[in-house]
Chains A and B, each alone.
Chain A
Amino acid sequence: MIRITAAGALALAIVCLIPRSPAMAQTPPALQNDMIVIRYNQPFNAKYKPIYDRLKERKLLEQFAAFLSPIKLRGRLELSLEEGNPSVCSGPNSYYDGAGGVHLCYSWFDFMETQVAVERPRAPNEPFTANSLGLMPGFTRSEVMVGGAVSVILHELGHALFHIQNIPLLGREEDGADQIAALIMLQFGPKVALTSIKGAYNAWHHMNAVRLQRQKGEIRPDQEADEHSIDIQRAFNFLCIAYGKDPVIFKELAEQLLPRARRDNCADEYKQTALAFRKTLLPDVDQAMMKEVLRMEILRPEDYK
């Protein structure tokens, strides 16, 4: 099992935001891949039922499968939306199981909806700090729900691709999976990029703040022993790659949230990630299908409301 400390996904968050839109998510018929299987698993817990219903109706796993269809997979990939085993799906969490299965747990989407994308009361003039929970100033609820979810679906996809495609890894896999997520989030135009990166940043900021509050402002050595980077490092990593790709669109966010010395390195970090993608994943991508995918409407106007 490959755990993600928090978790989420493209499809579900979007669904949570869009209660009823049966005409959406038409998958282009050409974007099929027999190696990809999807599964919607009914939740046992009633609180997850509305998420399940909305997601299934929106056909978000189908859309996600279409998005992945250009990849010539060397093994079967199963995308499963599920309540899952409490030992792995609670937390909140989502995970790749090391055997071809990406498990998207309801707990993550519920967490995004009820904890992260929520404005918390602050006293007048009280600053939003590293310890502050919930929605960040200047961020919208929909951005955070969508972006927080997208980042985790794509992160788990990253693990799946590393494993199924047998990609040699020199660095830490968890950060590599975040890099895949960030890179993909930046390929669908500035609006999708800004929305999804902001959401990812806020999700990891919130997770970091929860830990800081729990640990009285300290970062414990066991967090540094973990296979994942520290939550706030993950937030920085997402934003840095985005700023490296597009220093205009992400200028304001980067100047506000990234240390100066780090900003200066972001163009190189984006180049590193793009090079890794080009050399390890792109050879297995059907270019004609990829062009179709890039024309897909990943987020729709309703998603930004």
Chain B
Amino acid sequence: MKRTITASACVGVLIGLIALAPSQALAQQNIAIVYEQPKKAEYGPILDRLRKRKVLETLQQFLSPLQFPMTVKTAECGAPYAPYKARGPIIICYEYVGLIESVLPGEKDPVPDPTKPETLGRVGAFPVTREMATVGPFVQHALHETALAVFDSLEVPVWGRLHDAADYSAAFLLFQFGDDIARKTILGTTYFLDQWDAVTRQGQITDVNYLGDIRPTVRQRYYNVLCIAIGKKASFLSFVDLPSFSRIFHCQGLVAGQTTITSDYDKVRRAFVAHILPHVDKDKLTKVQNTMWIPD
């Protein structure tokens, strides 16, 4: 569903928050980047702004600790996602950027005041600004797609559906750069997924193609992100309606007598340490963790 906000305004918000000047300290050659020209004119402004604000260059630096070659590109895909192909590039589709914009509520003020961030709504007790609701899902999506490529490149053993694992990994990574980034991106992502589910649910929730897809439902993705968040920070519990959240023990973990349930966050952390961390440059990782990727 298309809302009233203009694409350019939203992309401006999105990129303005994540773009930083390329850092010499994080320069590397493993990650190649490509801005692909879209065929549809409507995606031209998105490409221009992504390029102008060096979004892929920023992502390139963010991923620089990975010690194996990868290509990241932006492209017109014909759908919000491009299916990941073995040894293929990480693709961020212009359609997905458009999707993020389209499901958020329209701009109330046509000329927003940057000193007064607009609150779109709340997740649990927490207010969500437009900046959080655009940057969060973009970053989460980039990390989700990156996770698929990392699983493939390193032949990481993945039990469970691949896209759930990618959601879990992305949410886990969002917590590795300090509380503030975690709060902004998790709140923004869950707000976006909640909105997305709300505007599309009725038409597709019983559709066999939707339920039979390789990806979880949008609502399942919402709970995936929350589940990892709850495992790391109990404060995120306020997001969920506990009586209907039967998965709570798996998200929080549990020790009762001889029974132990490890939280999903800790399971992902263990898997990350076992299978991915050996392929990461630790010095660069420290630098990445100490970089302010999403300034206030």
Contact = CB atoms under 8 A, between A and B. Distances in A.
9 contacts: A168-B157, A171-B161, A222-B246, A224-B216, A224-B223, A225-B223, A259-B208, A259-B213, A276-B157
Contact of A173 (B156, B169, B205, B250): B250
A279 B160 contact: no
A179 to B, nearest CB: 6
A177 B246 CA distance: 18
Interface residues of B, number: 52
Contacts of A170: 151, 156-160, 165, 168-169, 267-268, 271-272, 275
A171 B168 contact: yes
Interface of A: 1-2, 97-100, 130, 162-163, 167-176, 179-180, 212, 217-219, 221-222, 224-227, 229-230, 232-233, 236-237, 258-259, 261-262, 265, 268-269, 272-273, 275-276, 278-280
Given A130-B208, A167-B159, 10 more contacts: A169-B159, A170-B158, A170-B267, A170-B268, A175-B159, A219-B206, A225-B245, A229-B220, A273-B159, A275-B158
Interface in B151-204: 151, 155-162, 164-165, 168-169, 197
Contact of A218 (B205, B208, B213, B244): B205
Contacts of A262: 212-214
Contacts of B222: 224
A175 B161 contact: yes
A127 B146 CA distance: 44
B87 interface: no
B161 A172 contact: yes
Contacts of A100: 258
A6 B159 CA distance: 21
**Chain A contact residues, majority secondary structure:** helix
A227 B247 contact: yes
B206 A217 contact: yes
A275 B157 contact: yes
A259 B211 CA distance: 9
Contacts of A269: 162, 214
A90 B199 CA distance: 37
A212 B206 CA distance: 10
Contacts of B254: 98
B246 A227 contact: yes
Given A168-B274, A222-B246, A237-B161, A98 B267 contact: no
B71 interface: no
Nearest to B258: A99
A26 B234 CA distance: 52
Interface string B255-270: 0011111001001101
Contacts of A171: 158-162, 164-165, 168
B158 A168 contact: no
Contact of B247 (A97, A179, A225, A258): A225
B48 to A, nearest CB: 32
Which 6 A-B pairs give the minimum distances between C-beta atoms? A171-B160, A176-B159, A168-B271, A171-B165, A222-B244, A99-B258
B96 to A, nearest CB: 18
A224 to B, nearest CB: 4
A219 B210 CA distance: 12
B209 interface: yes
A168 B267 contact: yes
Contacts of A172: 160-161, 164-165, 168, 224, 264
B219 interface: yes
Contacts of B244: 221-222, 225
Given A225-B244, A276-B159, A169 B164 contact: no
B55 to A, nearest CB: 27
A174 to B, nearest CB: 8
B8 interface: no
Given A179-B159, A279-B155, A97 B259 contact: yes
Contacts of A259: 208-209, 212-213
Given A233-B211, A280-B157, A272 B223 contact: no
A175 B168 CA distance: 14
Nearest to B222: A224
A259 B207 CA distance: 10
